[in-house]
Structure 1
Amino acid sequence: MNWFTLLVLAVAVERVAELFVARRNGEWTLARAGVEYGRGHYPVMVALHTGLLVCCLLEPMIAHRPFLPALGWAMLTLAMLAQALRWWCITTLGPYWNTRVIVVPGARLISAGPYRFLRHPNYVAVVVEIAALPLVHSAWLTATVFTLANAMLLTVRLRCENTALAQALPA
Structure 2
Amino acid sequence: MSLILFTVLILVTGGERIVELVVSKRHAAWAFARGGIESARGHFPAMVTLHTGLLLGALAEAWFVPRPFIPGLGWPMLAIALLCQAGRYWVIWALGNQWNTRVIVVPGMALQRRGPYRFAWLPHPNYLIVAIEGIALPLVHTAWITAIAFTVLNAILLLGFRIPAEERALRAGSTVQA
TM-score, normalised relative to structure 1: 0.98
Identity across matched positions, percent: 53
SS of the equivalent of 2:58 reads: helix
- 152, 155, 174: which one aligns with 1:151: 155
Q: Give CA-to-partner distance per residue, 1:63-112, whole Å, 9 cap, x none.
A: 11100001001111111111100100001111110000000000111000
Structure 1 distance, partners of 2:102, 2:174, is 17
Q: Name the residue aligned to 1:94.
A: 96
* CA shift for structure 1 position 170: 3.0
Residue 28 (structure 2) pairs with residue 23 (structure 1): no
Segments of 4+ moved more than 4 angstroms: none
- 124, 148, 165: which one aligns with 1:160: 165
What aligned pairs does 1:28-67 form with structure 2 within 5 A after superposition? 28-67=30-69
Q: Report the AA paired with residue 44 of structure 1.
A: A
Q: Which runs of 5+ in 1 are unaligned?
A: none
* CA shift for structure 1 position 62: 1.1
Tell me the C-alpha RMSD between the 2 structures.
Answer: 1.0
Figure out how many residues of one structure are paired with residues of the other and give that number.
171
Residue 131 (structure 2) pairs with residue 127 (structure 1): yes
Q: Report the AA paired with residue 5 of structure 1.
A: T
Q: Give CA-to-partner distance per residue, 1:16-46, whole Å, 9 cap, x none.
A: 0000100000000011000001100000000
